[in-house]
Structure 1
Amino acid sequence: MVDVKKFKDIDLYGLIGVENIANEAEIRKAYRKKALTCHPDKNPDPKAAELFHKLQDALQILTDSSARNAYDRFQKAKKEAEFRNRQLDSKRQKLKSDLEAREKEAASRRESKYDNKTPEEIFQMELERVLKENSKVIEEENELMRQNFARAFVSAPASSDWDSSKHRIKIKWKADKNDETNGGYNDVNLPKFLDKYGDIVAFVISSKKKGTAVVEFKTQDAAEMAVQYEKGIISNPLKMEWIGDAPRSKKAGATVTESDYESLVLRQMRQAEERRKLIEQMKNEDDDE
């Protein structure tokens, strides 16, 4: 079987020395002229003999109309494929160049901000940025919750026998003794998590023991709601417990119902989900880098 692949890279017209529109007479004339220079009887060079055999193949193909048409279609398909590949390579090259430019730009931004930083330090920087930039949103939400509680409890004033000093609440969270951020809590952001439940009578964050604070609320309702529902930062939740015995439950008429704290729970769930997504996104970005 003849291997047509050997003709893939051979221009039979150029080999003989004619244009691709030449007629049979012109092809034969050109063949005879070129064949004289490489005929084995006149030229003993092995390369000349190889060229002579290629000329014979070219003559046979180009002087047969059916074989010539098939060869022309074969060469046309080859050129079209080469053209498509060049276009594709051009597009690929442009995409590659655009990608490299974007990566270079992103790398320069990261280098200026994260130069010589460890993944942990980068995450710490991003976490602090997110908490700072979103503090206004949290403050707005806390104010809305505070207003909702004020409306919910306006008909249930504080009991005359409620003594906040006898019902203090201890707040605990995870914090290493050498942690300068104190687990992410301080005397500015921690009260903001708490005062949405009601007025705070006293608040102290321990300067000696990391991860602890004490709070007193003006009303029993506010204190009970804070103990039951406040979790603080989702990545380092708060644990709130009574110092001493918990206060006795109020009568049914003054008990906080589900409708009273429904808006609070919904907002807390939304905030927790937003924080979780932000933290997950930053972790993924750190892993990619």
Structure 2
Amino acid sequence: MASKKFTDINLYDLLGISLEADQNEIRKAYRKKALDCHPDKNPDNPKAVERFHELSKALEILSDESARAAYDKVLKAKKAAELRSRQLDGKRQKLKQELEERERAALHKLAKSQPYSTVAKSDEEILQEQIERLRREGSRLLEEEQRAMQEQFLRNHAEKQRVLQQPAKFDSAQHRIKMKWKAEPGQDYTQEQLLKYLKKYGDVVALVVNSKKRGRAMVELATREACDMVLAYEKGDPAKPLHFEWVKPPADEKQQCKGSTVGSTASSTDYEDLVMRKMRQAEERKKLIEQMMKDEEADN
């Protein structure tokens, strides 16, 4: 903002407030707008950084009684001049501009020739003096606001990290499990038998036995925990063991070996506790998903 004149910027419009705004309204507007263009949030955007400094200067000026009074006087004079200028035709505007330039030149010459005289200072000069005073003294309010903003950024960052560290919600429809076994005549599994093995781990959303290819089925379990337990522990009838694997493993599962989700360190006591807890849950929801069969056929 150093390259701009304060009279070229309407600080009230910059903050989105009225000329009658009180200190609470000014601070609230500053926080809202400054948070969006804070340098920490926009490290590679020079325009955002510039706007942040403009907003900070607006807070600094408008929160100081003397500086705000000087700024208001300049702003009102500028608005009045713009209104008069719009009412003049082109020729009169040119004459007016030339007259104003001669007046400024004369005042500048007079000030140089009489440096110690009592020549009245212009409104813009008074405003500039107020701005210089603020620069020398520093703004305690601005420091407080920027410190509070930094603390807000830290809180927001901590909250984002907390959310990112939370496990993703398990979508059972996206992570079904394939079941395989060696189908001998008279030794095949029925859907009821498979359900008996599976439902002790939790709700079974759907179970489809492939009627076209023996020894194949697909199951959708309601929770990730149930899936992990089945993959880790369930073997079915020892005479015709069941083999399980993901149709589409979860993202974290892709970095591990198939069938090792729970890990070899799980104790039999943990297993029994989980099984007993799952057995007390409500009976499985009876839903059949046609897409599961299509997935199975496409996979084979």
TM-score (norm 2): 0.30
Larger radius of gyration: 1
TM-score (norm 1): 0.31
